[in-house]
Amino acid sequence: MRHSFVLANLLARPTRTIASMLGIALGVVLILVTVGLARGILYETGQREKNVGAEIIFQSAGTLGASITATPMALPIAYAKRLREIEGVRAVTPIGRYIRSGAGGIGFEMIEGIVDHPTDDYTTYAAISGIRIVEGRPLQSDEEIIVDRHYATTKKLAPGSRIELLNHTFTVAGIYEPESGARVKMRLTKMQQLLGAIGKCSSLLVKCFDPNEQERVAERIEALLPGNQIIFTRDIPSYYDRGIPSLNIFLRVVVGLALTVSALVILLAMYTSITERTREIGILKSLGASRRFIIAAIEKEALTISALGVAVGYVLSFLTKVGIMRYTSLIVRFEWPWLLVATFVGLLAGALGALYPAVRAARQDPVRALAYE
């Protein structure tokens, strides 16, 4: 009987049911898309940083970890010569970093200054990372940049295109593969000039003769140049996860907001529903329906709506993800723990939102309920 009662109420008021489902779906989308953007940007950037080809990154203390956006060009390139002389070091190359706001102010976008001509003290970025030009040509002047395939596709760029960076207009010389480090690269000398950091870089990439010996090489670097930061590229994704201390607080706020919005939608929908069904509830109570029966029926109706809303939210979230990744350079990454959190929040919102209307309905006097017009 309870199942047919719930189903009949859902079908009898399709507009209210759909509106309630969309309210729950909104909460699910809010959680998944917001968290997916935050996690996607950090994870994808961390993976590209991991793919630079070097085993060790040497930079000033506190540059990465305390804040991933703090990448000043404060490290003298002269350190490259001293690193190159350390036993076990095969090659060294300096890189510069500049970070600006991403598309639409969401996330961040990194620009990299690289060396494309070797010296006695350091080699080129390409020699360590293995990137190659697959369309267009390599850098030939300080007024040119190269971009990776993903960036070129999302920004609709091709060799010869013009783009403004650091308040300066550059020409796209070529497109490179595979993805490595920042998606946009210019000559380090040009970045030094634009940022007023001549002779400086953000970090030095260190390539070892034997990757299995990278811990020993790091120990030698620390002994020779103490007080600086030594990072293994294999650990970079975890550094990015810890790079924004307030990220977890932000995500908890998003989850709380989604729970509140969804619960209020269900509360309003179920409260209105109880008012509309006052006479029906009176009939049920006059036929012997217990308070527990009525509360359970209303809660079950709310949970059914919530479950359908969660399903709709999943579909809308995946469609949003496809749209964002197709038309922007942003990455959205859904993780199973957050899918479960979104499901739990959707169902919890339904249960909490329907609780007061359910208890109110169960307490109605059957005589007054039957006389209600």
As a three-state string, the secondary structure of the chain is CHHHHHHHHHHHCHHHHHHHHHHHHHHHHHHHHHHHHHHHHHHHHHHHHHCCCCCEEEECCCCCCCCCCCCCCCEECCHHHHHHCCCCEEEEEEEEEEEEECHHHCCEEEEEEECCCCCCCCCCHHHHHCCEEEEECCCCCCCEEEEEHHHHHHHCCCCCCEEEECCEEEEEEEEEECCCCCCEEEEHHHHHHHHCCCCEECEEEEEECCHHHHHHHHHHHHHHCCCCEEEEHHHHHHHHHHCCCCHHHHHHHHHHHHHHHHHHHHHHHHHHHHHHCHHHHHHHHHCCCCHHHHHHHHHHHHHHHHHHHHHHHHHHHHHHHHHHHHHCCCCCCCCHHHHHHHHHHHHHHHHHHHHHHHHHHHCCCHHHHHHCC
153 in a domain, yes or no? yes
Using the predicted structure, report yes or no on whether residue 136 has a pLDDT greater than 90: yes
175 in a domain, yes or no? yes
Confidence of residue 369 (pLDDT cuts 50, 70, 90): low
Last residue of a domain, one of 227, 262, 290: 227
**198 and 298 belong to one structural domain:** no
**304 and 177 belong to one structural domain:** no
Using the predicted structure, report yes or no on whether residue 103 has a pLDDT greater than 60: no
Using the predicted structure, report yes or no on whether residue 77 has a pLDDT greater than 50: yes
Q: Which domain holds residue 81?
A: 61-227
**198 and 301 belong to one structural domain:** no
Using the predicted structure, report yes or no on whether residue 101 has a pLDDT greater than 80: no
235 in a domain, yes or no? no
**216 and 352 belong to one structural domain:** no
334 in a domain, yes or no? yes
Confidence of residue 70 (pLDDT cuts 50, 70, 90): very low
What pLDDT was estimated at residue 86? 93
Helix (H) or strand (E) holding 229: strand 229-232
**211 and 267 belong to one structural domain:** no
232 in a domain, yes or no? no
**167 and 289 belong to one structural domain:** no
HSE toward the beta carbon, residue 98, CA cutoff 13 A: 22
**99 and 138 belong to one structural domain:** yes
28 in a domain, yes or no? yes
**73 and 27 belong to one structural domain:** no
Confidence of residue 2 (pLDDT cuts 50, 70, 90): very low
**19 and 148 belong to one structural domain:** no
Last residue of a domain, one of 199, 227, 255: 227
**348 and 305 belong to one structural domain:** yes
Last residue of a domain, one of 227, 257, 284: 227
**213 and 144 belong to one structural domain:** yes
Q: Domain tally for the chain?
A: 2
The model's pLDDT over 159-184, given as tens digits with 9 standing for 90+, comes to 999 998 888 999 999 999 888 888 89
**219 and 253 belong to one structural domain:** no
Using the predicted structure, report yes or no on whether residue 105 has a pLDDT greater than 70: no
Using the predicted structure, report yes or no on whether residue 251 has a pLDDT greater than 90: no
84 in a domain, yes or no? yes
236 in a domain, yes or no? no
The region of weakest confidence among 15-24, 117-126, 214-223 is 15-24
